[in-house]
Every structure is written in structure tokens, then in C-alpha cells.
Amino acid sequence: MMLKAVVLCGNPKPRSRTLALAEALAAALLPGISIVTIDLAAHADSIFAWPSNDMDELIAVVAGADVVIVASPTYKAAYTGLLKGFLDRYGPGALDGVVAIPVMTGASLAHAMAPEAHLRPLLVELGASVPTRALYFVTDNMDEVDRSVEAWVTTNARYLQATLGRDTGRHPSGA
């Protein structure tokens, strides 16, 4: 059965560099897998609306995925309120069975610990498995996205494959 993979981006700006990074990571990590992208910037009006069909649909897509790349810019040394507002709609353990990959972008290296300090605990609390390291990327270096993504995949793809219990289609070069 085909893997279900989602990129969830919590940047209030649409089509952000954070989203571009997350999509580059998805493409490198899961070649040949079609990725569903959720750009929360397009749904900001619904985040705090109850009830909301729009939100209900997105919530189901993420919870039903095998792999979710959860991406956020660094605001105040943490994930954005937009991302948290979306994830707050879940009950405890709602992402049980989902493998999540934390991805954050920031203006400087000074916030490189934000994914471990804040985003990973959030994903774990939701019940997701987070077997890999997080990816933190300084946005000044957008021309190095491919190299950073490649380095991350080389180190982490095996953890993802192991946790998923199946091949992601990603192989070390030459294999």
C-alpha cells in the first residue's frame, strides 16, 4: 500500500521558504510518493472557528497520514501560534501511529534548539513517533537547501524506514 505523506506548514505567510524547505525534504526523503501539502496560511481564518468543515478535513488528513513533515518558522524561539492553534484541535494521542518529522526555519543559528525544546515534545504529546532528528535551517542559506536536505536524509532516512517498517524508496547513492 502506498505511503500517505503530508507536509504541514505553520507559517502565516503563504508559500513561504519554510514550506519550500519542507517540500524539498519530502521530495528527497520520499521519492515517487505523492505528498499532500497543507499550508496553514490559507486557513488562518478557520483556526479558531468552531465548528469548521475546513478544519475537520485537514485534521483528518494529518491524522490519517503515515508520515507528516511538520514545519514552522521560529517565532519567539518556538513554533508559531498558527501551527499550535491547528494542532490544539486534536485530542490527546490523536496522532498515534503517525511518524512525524519536525522541521523549523529561523533567522539565525541561535534558535537551533527550538525544534528539540518545543516542537518535538508537542508532536510526542500528540502521540506521534519522532524517530529522526529535527531539521533546523537558517533561511539566509536558501541556496543551500538541497545540500542541507541531502545531509539530513543521509543521516536520518534509515530511522524513518525502520520505524515505518518499510522501504521509503530512498536509497544511499550508489545503492
Which of 11, 7, 5, 22 has the alpha carbon at shortest distance from 145? 22
In the structure, how many helices (H) and strands (E) does the chain have? Answer: 6, 5
Question: CB count, 10 Å around CB of 53?
Answer: 9
Binding-site member from 82, 103, 104, 153 for its own copies (CB under 8 A): 82
Q: Does 4 bind its own copies (CB under 8 A)?
A: no
Whole-angstrom distance, CA of residue 36 vs CA of residue 52: 20
- Rounded to a whole number of angstroms, the distance between the first and last alpha carbons of the chain is 23
Number of residues that bind its own copies (CB under 8 A): 52
CB of 69 to its own copies, least distance (A): 16
CB of 17 to its own copies, least distance (A): 17
- Whether the link from the prior residue into 51 is cis, omega within 30° of 0, is yes
Q: Does 59 bind its own copies (CB under 8 A)?
A: no
Q: Which stretch binds its own copies (CB under 8 A): 17-25, 31-39, 59-67, 153-161?
A: 153-161
Which residues of this chain interact with its own copies, rule CB under 8 A? Answer: 12, 44-45, 47-48, 75-88, 90, 92, 96, 108-114, 116-118, 120-122, 124-127, 129-134, 155, 159, 161-165
